[in-house]
Structure 1
């Protein structure tokens, strides 16, 4: 089911490190209030509630400036003036403020007719929270220089009182606003580098980047590490799987010896044969011989199968069926994506297993025994950790980090650790594993799109580019094809 209110949507967005975007053509008062509400929820979730008032001012200042920039375009166009002409610019700015204020509804309607928008995007990633305000009119060099001049002026002031006492250029009404914005950032312990403004591909993008409260990050890491260290029942794989892994790593062992060991575990045997005879291998004839099956998947493929098989055996409780169903769907999508972009067999294997294990952190946390939950909660109280932090973890926040720490404890390959840790933030993964992480990321995102947890605009643009996806229609077609293929796979 899709989330029903904005608070739920934001919690999901933070968990999945996807942006939340609000688009407006007129940016009326109700929209401004809505944006402030969204900001408040984000800061509350990120432990930065004390910044609400100051950041709300900064957000409003940048959003209104973007709207004014759009208004200026339609005003100059209506007057037959060019923004690029010095004389025209001076002529147009003489009455810009008074005339647009008197006929603001007229100019806002013109902006809407011409499709001139203001997009406000909120995004948490790594240890930062970013607010980006876009309008689809690219800033001119003259306008950009005026803003940099105001930023430079702000360095001369130690307080807002000093800034207010100065008479600044008021032709566009934004002179003092940018100075106050920079002073607001200083009050928050940030420098002017936290603010950026630039033009690109017909858009102007103004952004603020705020570090998530360091104390919250430290506490989250502390509690995550404690959870991983306390789960003593989970780290050891079944002995027979460990023995098979050792045989795979032993250069002196042969395929037949490995096959014999596998055949002693009926469940593992059935799983191996199921994988080999699935659509993944597209064999003309069914394989029922274990040795042949091992040859088909290869030693690396077998090792990956053991990772997923062992994890499921340890964690696959009946009440976790929904999580594992999602894991298998993600794995199928990830494998299909990897094969579609013609990755090597090793990459394809890792993409499949990475898909199965990407939400291991959620599964582990949801499988914790009640007595252990109580023990971890006592630890949080003893260390005076922030209220709500444990609930955040239980709700899925930081699950990628929990899963990666478990994977490291189980000695999983670095490729799988990267896929688990960065399946919501592929741009932070190591370059050599980026292809695998991209596959797992998009596969998981497609599942979220099916559940209406996210929308197309929230997807990582670099990942879409990697898969040569240029439109929402193209992605929907891909989603439908994969969903139908997965359905057929289940019926085999």
Structure 2
């Protein structure tokens, strides 16, 4: 039954890619099936645009972003259940510690169902043609100021690294192990490793939505959305 479901969804993905330049996937939690659909989507799009060499790098990045988006939604539910205020600094740190201690794969599945019931989602929006690809990972909970500050700091620091081992070593020595921030910093390093300008990666807050946007030009005719963004996290001077 699972195999039939995967094949059916993959046929729909392949059909959408072959017929147009847009594709949207939506989920409430990261599962093995979701991972397979992300990989198949990238394979289909990058084959069509003749940039298959980017499959594994983009898959790694997308997986990180979707996990972060799903966790962000699930953390909001956890804080609500614990009657903790995200915007109160002491309560925020208490909640994060409680969440880290309680987190497990079983919990992720349970809270994924709760996210679905509350209308919280993580959506992957692909837009692509021969000029380039734009991928947006959207979750419908906004980043609070404390989290935004952490992300801005991580992204700024990551711009100074070109090597994953060097980055890991310095983070370990400083005792800095903030999960989501570390993952975002590694994304920047992966992009630099592919020769992709990391300024094409943005995290934006629009109302109650947090949007992680990655753009990759395939030609000089590609037009980026970044110049139209009113608010950016991690913007470089």
Alignment TM-score > 0.5, same fold: yes
Equivalence for 2:156: 152
Among residues 184, 209, 214, which one is paired with 1:178 in the alignment? Answer: 184
Among residues 88, 95, 99, which one is paired with 1:85 in the alignment? Answer: 88
Equivalence for 1:129: 133
Shift in Å, 1:106:
2.6
More strand, by proportion: 2
The structure with higher relative contact order (CA 8 Å, sep 6+) is: 2
Among residues 118, 121, 124, which one is paired with 1:120 in the alignment? Answer: 124
CA contact (8 A) 1:133 1:206 kept: yes
Matched, 1:36 2:39: yes
Matched, 1:103 2:114: no
The structure having more radius of gyration, on CA atoms, is 1
CA contact (8 A) 1:100 1:107 kept: no
Q: What is the RMSD computed on CA atoms of the aligned residues?
A: 2.0
Matched, 1:51 2:54: yes
Q: Secondary structure at the match of 2:103?
A: helix
Equivalence for 2:68: 65
- Aligned structure 1 segments of 4 or more residues deviating by more than 6 angstroms: none
Q: Which runs of 5+ in 2 are unaligned?
A: 1-9, 222-237
Q: Secondary structure at the match of 2:20?
A: helix
**CA distance in 2: counterparts of 1:6 and 1:103, whole angstroms:** 29
**CA distance in 1: counterparts of 2:17 and 2:118, whole angstroms:** 31
CA contact (8 A) 1:122 1:132 kept: yes
CA contact (8 A) 1:24 1:119 kept: yes
- Deviations 1:302-329 (CA, angstroms, capped at 9, x unpaired): xxxxxxxxxxxxxxxxxxxxxxxxxxxx
CA contact (8 A) 1:21 1:119 kept: yes
Shift in Å, 1:126:
7.3
TM-score (norm 1): 0.40
- Deviations 1:11-43 (CA, angstroms, capped at 9, x unpaired): 2123xxxx2111112232201210111011111
Shift in Å, 1:125:
5.3
Q: Which runs of 5+ in 1 are unaligned?
A: 218-492
CA contact (8 A) 2:134 2:215 kept: yes
Matched, 1:11 2:15: no
Residues 160, 4 of structure 1: alpha-carbon distance in 2 compared, 3 angstrom cutoff: closer
More helix, by proportion: 1
